[in-house]
Chains A and B, each alone.
Chain A
Amino acid sequence: MGRSVELARIIDGCKSGDADCFAQVVDRYAGRCYGYFYRLTGDRDLSDELLSELFIRLVEKIGSYKGGAFESWLFKIASNIFHDHLRGKQRRRRLLDARRAEIELEPDLNESRRSDMSEDRLDKLQLQLNRLDADTRELIMLRFHSELSFREIAELRSEPLGTALSKLHRGLKKLRALMEG
């Protein structure tokens, strides 16, 4: 209860243009949103760019937020930004180049051992995620990073709950198989 009251206070502050409240929103959600963008793009610079765009759009749209789950509202904007990004020709080319570079790196990852074990595992997950189709990958990342309920995710994606559950189940099962394979 205390958390939601605090969040409501921060959102009210954002609506009136309070710089401290903007900073608090960034501190609360930047990590999760950045993780979402990074897992979808595999590009840190691009994720920085998309994250920045997300919070600027938050400033522009905060007046239209009328309550409800703030995370759902925020990740809806994040999802729209990601789709806008995919539609952009230049950015799409950049993403394809990044993915091509990742595929070229794949043998090195399998053959060489890295001193930083966590970074190695991180890259492996990123590679296997890229083997899933874009829609399933986004659904998995939305579920994981937004921490929304399945019902909220289904609403956010404008698809039936059963469809979202089924896609997520198949996607996670495939991801596990890829990671173990």
Chain B
Amino acid sequence: MNDQARENLVEWLKQVMDAESAEAANEDIRAGEQLLATYSAPKPDVRTLTAIKARMVLAAARRHRNIRMLRGALAAAAAVIVIAMIGLLGPDSTSRTPMVHAAIIPAAIWESDNIEAEDLDLAYFTSEIRRIEAQMQALEAGDSESHGSGTLQELEMELMNVEIEFWKG
């Protein structure tokens, strides 16, 4: 037992028991420690100690290598984060041209209550369809000037053309 451990044991013991008991406990502890001192524990084998020292050197080398690798990985991660931050928050972000959303349908048509009247193309196609419809009805009723299947086919073709043009815009 070294000097550091030789604190005033009685004073410690007096904190948890009366003075007389503290003195007795002190004697018990001293006697017990003397008993232990007479039975020395075995010492480690020299070969064991040599092996431990070798393992410690290897462990230290491994630890230093791991630290270096970790530092490298952290530096790479930090670089990626910095680049990403520059990309997101860099000076260009404020001067970037704002995105403009263009409308496909003109505002006048979008807001109109009568789309057919506002859109000239639509008005034209609507009038064409109505004209052809009237012609077909007249043919079916038999009061057309030009009779025959050829006229009917012509009208149908014309109607199809109108429809195609309409969907082409």
Contact = CB atoms under 8 A, between A and B. Distances in A.
A175 B35 contact: yes
A150 B56 contact: no
Given A140-B32, A144-B37, A161-B12, 14 more contacts: A22-B57, A26-B52, A30-B44, A51-B44, A122-B40, A145-B41, A148-B5, A149-B5, A161-B15, A162-B15, A169-B25, A169-B29, A176-B35, A179-B35
22 contacts: A22-B53, A22-B60, A26-B53, A35-B40, A35-B41, A48-B44, A51-B52, A52-B48, A52-B55, A55-B55, A56-B55, A59-B60, A118-B40, A121-B38, A144-B37, A147-B5, A149-B5, A149-B7, A151-B7, A172-B28, A172-B29, A176-B28
Contact of B12 (A23, A44, A143, A165): A165
A29 to B, nearest CB: 11
B63 A59 contact: yes
B36 interface: yes
A44 B42 contact: yes
A48 B45 contact: yes
A149 B5 CA distance: 4
Chain B: interface residue count, which band? 35 or more
Contact of A148 (B4, B9, B37, B57): B4
A161 B13 CA distance: 9
Interface string A157-169: 0000110011011
Nearest to B47: A48
Nearest to B39: A125
Contacts, number: 127
Contacts of B37: 144
Main secondary structure of the interface of A (DSSP, over half): helix
Contact of A175 (B1, B32, B43, B60): B32
Closest 7 CB pairs of A and B: A172-B32, A35-B41, A162-B16, A125-B39, A17-B60, A34-B44, A22-B56
Nearest to A48: B48
Interface in B1-21: 1-2, 4-5, 7, 9, 12-13, 15-16
A79 interface: no
Contacts of A122: 39-42
Contact of A173 (B15, B32, B36, B63): B32
A5 interface: no
B108 to A, nearest CB: 75
Contact of B28 (A17, A35, A36, A173): A173
Interface of B: 1-2, 4-5, 7, 9, 12-13, 15-16, 25, 28-29, 31-33, 35-45, 48-49, 51-53, 55-57, 59-61, 63-64
Interface of A: 17, 19, 22-23, 26-27, 30-31, 34-36, 38-39, 44, 47-48, 51-52, 55-56, 58-60, 69, 118, 121-122, 124-125, 140, 143-145, 147-151, 161-162, 165-166, 168-169, 171-173, 175-176, 179
B74 to A, nearest CB: 16
A150 B1 CA distance: 12
Contacts of B44: 30-31, 34, 47-48, 51
A129 to B, nearest CB: 9
A176 B32 CA distance: 6
